[in-house]
């Protein structure tokens, strides 16, 4: 009888699990939605490459706001209400992009998008874990990671297709995404809540930031932190600078190609996460770091040769490298974190991810103004490789000590 009740509960949870996964995927689909459109924004608003990169980087302002202020809000307010709130913020962000008549709108829209994704990712990931039928939470984590990457890939390729083949690309892309967000919000409103004891007023919510690394773990934390920074720097490079790399080095101004290359990056990452569930965390992290130098070398070779074929190969390798580096470093950070300070340490880890996602891309855009795109990218690759070797050295030393 008890087993039958459990099966019934699992069956009743399945639609809500699908919706919670859809919330995560739909929100992340909005992140690369703008990437294929950057060259058109440059032409329409007369923007420089640096300004476009700063628009991309403003996304991180929203991410950091989520991290410092709202990261744990759904623990008290509930998964469904917070998911509805972040979908509303995503709708506002989409409307700002849709109606933008001045570059300032793009900065606000991108920051709002970062806020929605930052809060929504934490909320939806926790919701998936609570609704997943498996007692092994690693399965829920793999589902969340796969949905995350599939959403990123889908958003990039669909935006590229719409921008290339549909009239009014700076409008149509966001009309379609707006419809998807509204449909997701309706389904979310009908889904099951998993937080049983919720707060009844805003004053009861805890928004106090908890970020830090215990002194005894600071040396061990260097490897996953540097891996996260380098991994997300590569992702940020693709998301912010790929359209200009294609245009300036390969003389190809195609939104479809930009979207497809970014989608390829995330698709390769998603497949890597799915097919390597048994790989130990430190092995995955080290493999991602060792693959980073050849990935960057191939990327530079593709730029020098002006070869799309080489770029496709480089992107696959970059996708594998970033997937292994991200999964391994996140698991390592999670493993070393004391239970009573887990939120603090993981917040510090996410801070490394967010800064890596924006600062290097801005640095490359600034440097390219004085030394050109190629030498700016060479500098980016050299710094990334140096960081990878630092992480490998410190990580190997720590693993040796703990064996």
- Written as one string, the DSSP assignment of 56-97 is HHHHHHHHHHIIIIITTHHHHH-HHHHHHHHHHHHHHHHHHH
Residues 139 and 259 grouped into a single domain: no
pLDDT tier at 72, thresholds 50, 70, 90 = low
* Per-residue pLDDT at 10 exceeds 70: no
- In terms of pLDDT, which residue wins out, 211 or 83? 83
* Per-residue pLDDT at 17 exceeds 70: yes
Q: Is 31 among the domain residues?
A: yes
Q: Which of 193, 220, 244 is the last residue of a domain?
A: 193
CA angle 25, 115, 147 (to 5 degrees): 15
Q: Is 205 among the domain residues?
A: no
Residues 189 and 257 grouped into a single domain: no
Q: Is 1 among the domain residues?
A: no
Residues 125 and 68 grouped into a single domain: yes
pLDDT tier at 360, thresholds 50, 70, 90 = confident
Residues 52 and 127 grouped into a single domain: yes
pLDDT tens-place string over residues 42-71: 888 888 888 888 888 898 888 888 777 776
For residue 69, the tally of other CB atoms under 10 A from its CB is 15
* 62 closest CA partner among 20, 30, 35, 22: 30
* Per-residue pLDDT at 359 exceeds 80: yes
- In terms of pLDDT, which residue wins out, 391 or 204? 391
306 φ/ψ angles, rounded to the nearest 5 degrees: 65, 35
**Per-chain mean pLDDT for the chain:** 83
Q: Is 126 among the domain residues?
A: yes
Residues 185 and 249 grouped into a single domain: no
Q: Is 369 among the domain residues?
A: yes
For residue 278, the tally of other CB atoms under 10 A from its CB is 6
* Per-residue pLDDT at 102 exceeds 80: yes
Q: What is the mean pLDDT of residues 172-195?
A: 92
pLDDT tens-place string over residues 242-266: 777 787 777 777 788 888 888 899 8
241 φ/ψ angles, rounded to the nearest 5 degrees: -115, -10
Residues 176 and 269 grouped into a single domain: no
- Distances in Å between the Cα of 61 and the Cα atoms of 58, 96, 268, 330, 347 are 5, 17, 28, 22, 15
Q: Which of 193, 228, 262 is the last residue of a domain?
A: 193
Q: Is 333 among the domain residues?
A: yes
Listed range (160-174, 291-305, 323-337) with the worst mean pLDDT: 323-337
pLDDT tens-place string over residues 125-143: 778 877 877 665 567 777 8
Q: Which domain holds residue 385?
A: 210-403
Residues 226 and 165 grouped into a single domain: no
Residues 217 and 183 grouped into a single domain: no
pLDDT tier at 1, thresholds 50, 70, 90 = very low
How many structural domains does the chain have?
2
Q: Is 203 among the domain residues?
A: no
Distance CA 224, CA 375 (A): 28
Distance CA 69, CA 71 (A): 6
* Per-residue pLDDT at 403 exceeds 60: no
pLDDT score at 4: 38
- Quickly list H helices, 190-280: 218-250, 255-275
List for the chain the helix, strand, coil content (%; round to 5). Answer: 85, 0, 15
State the number of CA atoms in the 13 A half-sphere of 94 facing the CB: 26
Residues 175 and 231 grouped into a single domain: no
Percent of the chain with pLDDT over 90: 25
Residues 163 and 241 grouped into a single domain: no
Residues 167 and 265 grouped into a single domain: no
Top-ranked range on mean pLDDT: pick from 35-39, 78-82, 283-287 = 283-287
């Amino acid at each position: 009888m008890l087993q039958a009740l459990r099966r019934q509960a699992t069956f009743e949870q399945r639609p809500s699990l699908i919706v919670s996964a859809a919330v995560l995927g739909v929100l992340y689909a909005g992140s690369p939605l703008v990437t294929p459109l950057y060259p058109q924004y440059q032409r329409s608003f007369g923007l420089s490459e640096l300004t476009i990169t700063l628009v991309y980087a403003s996304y991180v302002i929203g991410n950091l706001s989520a991290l410092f202020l709202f990261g744990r809000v759904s623990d008290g307010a509930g998964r469904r209400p917070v998911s509805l709130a972040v979908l509303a913020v995503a709708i506002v962000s989409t409307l700002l992009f849709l109606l933008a008549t001045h570059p300032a709108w793009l900065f606000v829209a991108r920051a709002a998008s970062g806020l929605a994704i930052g809060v929504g990712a934490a909320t939806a990931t926790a919701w998936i874990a609570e609704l997943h039928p498996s007692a092994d939470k690693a399965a829920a984590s793999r589902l969340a990671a796969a949905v995350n990457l599939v959403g990123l890939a889908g958003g990039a390729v669909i935006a590229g297709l719409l921008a290339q083949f549909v009239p009014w690309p700076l409008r149509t892309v966001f009309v379609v995404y707006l419809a998807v967000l509204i449909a997701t919000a309706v389904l979310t409103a009908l889904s099951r809540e998993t937080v049983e004891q919720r707060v009844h007023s805003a004053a009861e919510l805890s928004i106090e930031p908890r970020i830090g690394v215990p002194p005894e773990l600071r040396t061990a934390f260097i490897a996953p932190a540097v891996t996260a920074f380098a991994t997300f720097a590569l992702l940020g490079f693709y998301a912010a600078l790929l359209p200009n790399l294609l245009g300036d080095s390969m003389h190809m101004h195609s939104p479809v190609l930009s979207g497809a290359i970014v989608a390829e990056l995330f698709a390769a990452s998603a497949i890597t996460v799915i097919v390597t569930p048994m790989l130990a965390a430190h092995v995955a992290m080290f493999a991602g770091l060792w693959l980073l130098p050849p990935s960057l070398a191939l990327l530079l070779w593709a730029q020098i040769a002006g070869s799309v074929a080489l770029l496709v190969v480089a992107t696959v390798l970059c996708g594998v490298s970033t997937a292994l580096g991200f999964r391994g470093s996140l698991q390592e950070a999670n493993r070393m974190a004391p239970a009573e300070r887990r939120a603090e340490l993981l917040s510090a880890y996410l801070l490394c991810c967010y800064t890596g996602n924006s600062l290097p891309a801005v640095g490359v855009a600034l440097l390219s103004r004085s030394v050109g795109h190629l030498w700016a990218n060479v500098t980016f690759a050299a710094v990334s490789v140096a960081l990878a070797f630092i992480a490998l050295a410190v990580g190997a030393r720590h693993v040796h000590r703990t064996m």
